[in-house]
Structure 1
């Protein structure tokens, strides 16, 4: 498995994740940018983790492709 890094400790990540889950359960929409900031990870790390989780769920390699913003 690829290593991913955060500026937070594992315990801090778990505590922040619990707060985020509670906020989402109350209907708050949390952006990817906010999630990354609160968990101390980069967007690239978030996407890599999402691809790993999707691969685990689907039982086959999955990847996330980031396309350039065509609106600029």
Structure 2
């Protein structure tokens, strides 16, 4: 059985580590999951802003990527 990554544990710790290494971290709000809604709220609204440079929806991310153009 394969288990996914949940926002308030592995994704959060990976994002924090990436930020500490100097990466620009984008947390994609609707592409993450958690066991309970409270955990998602915590990951996106409370903890996420401490390490993520941006917290976007998939649509917002795709729009931003399209606007960046080639070589951006």
TM-score by length of 2: 0.31
RCO higher in 1 or 2 (8 Å CA, sep ≥ 6)?
2
State TM-score, norm by structure 1: 0.31
Q: Where is the strand percentage greater, Structure 1 or Structure 2?
A: 2
